[in-house]
Amino acid sequence: MALKTSCPCCGKPFSAPEDYAGKKVNCPKCDHRFVLKTREQALQEAADLEAEKLQQMEDRRRIELIEREERKHRDRRASMPYYEKFQTGTRPVRNYDPRSGPGFLNLRYLADLLLIGAYAVLMLALAGIGLTVYLKFAGVISSIVILSIVLIGWILVGGVLFLLLKYLAELALLMASLGDQQNDVVRLLLDLRDNTDVDSSEKG
C-alpha cells in the first residue's frame, strides 16, 4: 500500500511505497531529500497541527475579548467626569482637576521668550567673532591687541548675556511649575475640607 505524503520544501503531494516509511526519499519535483513518515506519524502530525490551529483560534478569541473589554473600560472611564474618577474619601472632587492643564501661562511665555533671546544673543556673539576674524584677515584690524580686546569683548558680553537670559528663563519656568504644584495642593485641601465639612454635618 502506498503512503501519501507531500514535500516539506515545495509542498508537492506524491505517493511512495509503504516500505519506505521511516527512510529518506527524494521529492520528484525539487529533489529535496527528507524522511518519509509512517501512516501513524502522518495522522498524529495532522492531529497535532489541527489541535494547534484550534488553540490559536481560541487564544485569538480570548485576546479579542480582553481587548474589547479593555476598550469598553477605557471609553467608559474617558466619558466619566473627572470628579467621578478622582475621589477624596467618599465624596467627589470639586476643585482639583488633573486635566485642567498648566497654569501661569504668562510666566511660561516669558520663559520661552527669554530662552529664544539667549540663543539669539549667542548667535550674534558668534557672528561678531566671525566678523572680527574676517576684518583681521581683510586688513581692517591690524593690531593684535585690538583684535584680542574685541574678541574677548564679544566672548564676555555674549557669554554673560546668554547665561543670564537662560538662567532667567529657567527661573521663570521653575516659578510657573511651583505655582502649579501649589495650586494643586490648595485645590486638594479645599476638596478635603469640603468633604470633611459634609461628613461632619451628616454625623451631626
Instruction: Tally the domains of the chain.
Output: 1
Does position 89 have pLDDT exceeding 50, yes or no? no
Domain extent, residue 120, equals: 104-192
| Amino acid type, 69 | E
- Structural domain contains residue 187: yes
- Structural domain contains residue 60: no
The alpha carbon of 167 is separated from its chain's Cα centroid by a whole number of angstroms, namely 29
- Structural domain contains residue 36: no
- Structural domain contains residue 136: yes
- Structural domain contains residue 83: no
CB neighbour list of residue 63: distance below 8 Å, 6 or more residues apart: none
- Structural domain contains residue 1: no
pLDDT 10s digits, 116-157: 999 999 999 999 999 999 888 888 888 888 889 989 999 999
- Structural domain contains residue 57: no
Looking at the whole model, is its pTM more than 0.75? no
C-beta atoms surrounding 114 within 10 Å: 19
- Structural domain contains residue 153: yes
